């Protein structure tokens, strides 16, 4: 029986209602931020309102035409996150808001373009190594002399003439596609366990090579680019996908051990990693709070404490006192102005996106689609944990963005491409011309 025959097409009214709700919440947050900050409705309401209204509704009809069986709540949930992020960025800086609105439009166009080009997610399975090589090439592109740029101690950016971007953002999506294809083809071999290490049953040594390659790649990112966040993110994604593919907890244990070894080496080798660990432990130490690196974490803690349970209200706090409030610390800005209840609601939106991704993986009828959906959901979940955990001092702070919310074009466009692939897996192949 075909997928189309077993999966019910979401009602048009429900899907449209979710999209309109996302639009109302996005524009409502933007208007409230303007009222709170300046005492009147923003004068750019017609411009930005049109961008969001046209963009969201056009995307709804693209999904309806190209992926009619898609989960109806997936895009609207990401749309609310995008709108809330834009409202906070507007509240922090009108200039950054203008750039972010442009990137929202580009991201929505990339979303539609991805659905148009990838009519069946299984077609990506035919380009395993090509996609993998392109992904690794993009990941390591910033170390190329002449085009790579070092910002805040990490070499993440590439400049090509007037254009600057972070290639690691799209690299993470490509590497998940590669891993889904590779692990789907090799999962039977990786499931074989012929050796024992205490209570753990392990596969033959030659089949552990993928784990060591992923570990080596994450160490290369850490040592060459000095980016602890990306290193943690890429290795974590690989270990989770390997576990999903094989069902063997031994890989998780090995992954945790290898990560601990890699983190230890990074701590011993790089002063900026030592600084981040020291900031994590001593951020509120009165003797250090005004030193470089400590102040931003301390300001984030003070801001969230000021917000309390319900926050000061959008536009009513002082999140501008937090360094990098529109990027690394935007969660702290929400904590100050929306309080514990608001940040909890924000995190629940991520729970919906990740939960939908896991549900899509469980429903997928093919191994590649199952691993692809699981990997894409892992990106969102793990990246959210890394940045929120860093801001709240659960783990040392690392330089990753909060998906869909933080300011930045590379991240936003890559996340919309990721979302489009999730939508495609949830919907199955696009209908043929003339189909409904």
Domain boundaries, the chain: 128-425
- What tokens does 294 get? 């400590």
In the predicted model, what is the mean pLDDT of the chain?
Answer: 85
Separation between Cα atoms, residue 87 and residue 407, nearest integer Å: 11
**Secondary structure class of 194 (helix, strand, coil):** coil
Of the pLDDT bands very low, low, confident and very high (cuts 50, 70, 90), residue 182 is confident
Helix H or strand E segment including 63: helix 45-66
CA distance 272 to 21: 43
**Overall average pLDDT of the 406-433 stretch:** 90
CB 128 within 8 A of CB 181: yes
Quote the pTM value: 0.90
Task: Report how far residue 206's alpha carbon sits from residue 189's, in angstroms, rounded to the nearest whole number.
Answer: 10
DSSP lists the bridge partners of residue 146 as none
3-class secondary structure, 96: helix
The pLDDT tens digits of the residues spanning 268-309 come to 877 777 888 888 888 887 777 666 666 788 888 889 999 999
Report the 10 Å Cβ neighbour count for 428. Answer: 24
Identify whether the C-beta of residue 337 lies closer than 8 Å to the C-beta of residue 368. no
Please compute the mean of the pLDDT values over residues 243-263 and round it to a whole number: 82
Residue with tokens 């094989």: 246
- How does residue 153 score in pLDDT terms, banded at 50, 70 and 90? low
Start-to-end CA distance of the chain, whole Å, equals: 19
């Amino acid at each position: 029986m075909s997928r189309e025959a077993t999966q019910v097409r979401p009602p048009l009214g429900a899907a449209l209602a979710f999209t309109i709700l996302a639009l109302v919440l996005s524009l409502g947050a933007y208007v409230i931020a303007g009222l709170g900050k300046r005492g009147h409705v923003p004068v750019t309401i017609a411009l930005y309102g049109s961008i969001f209204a046209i963009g969201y509704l056009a995307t709804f009809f693209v999904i309806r035409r190209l992926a009619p069986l898609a989960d109806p709540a997936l895009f609207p949930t990401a749309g609310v996150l995008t709108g809330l992020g834009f409202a906070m960025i507007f509240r922090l800086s009108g200039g950054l808001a203008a750039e972010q609105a442009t990137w929202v439009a580009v991201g929505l166009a990339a979303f539609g373009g991805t659905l148009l080009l990838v009519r069946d997610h299984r077609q990506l399975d035919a380009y395993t190594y090509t996609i993998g090589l392109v992904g690794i090439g993009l990941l390591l592109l910033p170390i190329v002399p002449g085009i790579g740029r070092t910002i805040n101690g990490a070499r993440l950016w590439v400049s090509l003439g007037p254009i600057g971007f972070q290639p690691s953002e799209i690299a993470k999506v490509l590497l998940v596609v590669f891993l889904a294809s590779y692990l789907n083809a090799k999962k039977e071999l990786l499931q074989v366990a012929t050796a024992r290490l205490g209570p753990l049953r392990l596969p033959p040594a030659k089949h552990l090579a993928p784990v060591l390659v992923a570990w080596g790649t994450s160490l290369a990112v850490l040592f060459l680019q000095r980016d602890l966040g990306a290193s943690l993110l890429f290795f974590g994604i690989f270990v989770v996908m390997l576990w999903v593919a094989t069902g063997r907890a031994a890989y998780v244990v090995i992954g945790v051990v290898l990560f601990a070894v890699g983190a230890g080496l990074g701590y011993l080798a790089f002063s900026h990693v030592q600084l981040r660990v020291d900031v994590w432990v001593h951020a509120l130490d009165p003797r250090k709070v005004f030193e470089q690196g400590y102040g931003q974490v301390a300001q984030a803690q003070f801001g969230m404490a000021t917000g309390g349970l319900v926050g000061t209200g959008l536009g009513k706090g002082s999140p501008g006192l937090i360094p990098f409030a529109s990027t690394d610390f935007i969660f702290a800005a929400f904590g100050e102005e929306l309080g514990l209840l608001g940040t909890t609601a924000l995190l629940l939106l991520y729970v919906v996106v990740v939960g939908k991704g896991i549900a899509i993986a469980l429903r997928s009828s093919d191994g590649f689609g199952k691993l692809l959906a699981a990997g894409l959901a892992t990106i969102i979940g793990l990246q959210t944990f890394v940045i929120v955990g860093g801001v709240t001092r659960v783990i040392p702070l690392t330089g990753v963005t909060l998906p869909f919310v933080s300011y930045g074009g590379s991240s936003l466009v890559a996340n919309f491409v990721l979302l489009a692939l999730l939508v495609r897996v949830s919907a199955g192949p696009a209908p043929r011309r003339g189909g409904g």
